Amino acid sequence: MSRFASAETTLPSAATSSRLLLAVIGAASLAACAQSPVGRQRADLATTNRQASVERPHRVAALHPRPISRPHVHTDTVDAKPTASHGVASFYSDTETASGEKFDKNEMTAAHPTLPFGTRLRVTDVSSGRFVTVRVNDRGPFVRGRVVDISPSAAEALGMVDKGIANVRLDVVQ
């Protein structure tokens, strides 16, 4: 009998068969994961995000409404409310706000990531000292380092239209 003939007639050892069984189970598990609805949902979300970014890039960031920076809160008062924060302000224009009202470039309004709609903010340009009071009616900005987006009329009152952005201090008025 040849060497090959004797190898064919011997049975695999228990260790070899258990390894083979584990490999088959692992392959079946991977195949099941590839067919799971969770994997398909993630793939569907990825294509949706790409489509949304092409259509309205400023709204894609709204899918992740995480504040860039939070206003400081004094905890020694009974009704602790945010008082001030510092950062960069920009101005924007849109057709509809997150609060549902129509955007009006002539109103003194603003977009803030976390403050409730209707909150009045005093936005002070740190370099010039000029300030304007705006009402929060939208969400944003969703750009790292920016704390507020203001309407074009508020930007004009601050004198930041030519610059596009300004270092500001935010104070909650009401």
Task: Check residue 21 and give its pLDDT.
Answer: 85
CB 137 within 8 A of CB 101: yes
Q: What is the pLDDT of residue 115?
A: 93
Share of the chain above pLDDT 90, in %: 37
Over residues 134-153, mean pLDDT: 92
Residue 130: the pLDDT is: 95
Is residue 20 within 8 A of residue 12, CB to CB? The reply is yes
pLDDT for the residue numbered 14:
81
Question: Are residues 138 and 109 in contact, defined by beta-carbon separation less than 8 angstroms?
Answer: yes
Whether this prediction's pTM lies above 0.75 is answered by no
- CA 162 and chain centroid, separation: 28
Segment among 6-15, 102-111, 150-159 with least mean pLDDT: 6-15
The C-alpha atoms of residue 63 and residue 50 are separated, in whole angstroms, by 12
First-last CA distance in the chain: 97
38: confidence class by pLDDT, cuts 50, 70, 90: low
pLDDT digits (tens, 9 = 90+) for 39-65: 555 555 555 544 444 444 444 444 444
Once rounded to an integer, what is the mean pLDDT over residues 111-122? 94
What average pLDDT does the chain have? 76
DSSP annotation of 70 reads P
The residue ranges of every structural domain in the chain are: 3-59, 68-172
The arrangement of secondary structure in 68-172, i.e. its CATH architecture, is Beta Barrel (2.40)
Neighbour-count burial for 103-119, b at 16+ CB within 10 Å, e otherwise: beeeebbbbbbebeeeb
State how far the alpha carbon of 95 is from the alpha carbons of 92, 102, 136, 139, in Å.
10, 6, 16, 13
Q: In this predicted model, what pLDDT tens digit does every residue of 73-114 receive, in sequence order?
A: 444 444 545 557 889 999 888 778 899 999 999 999 999 999
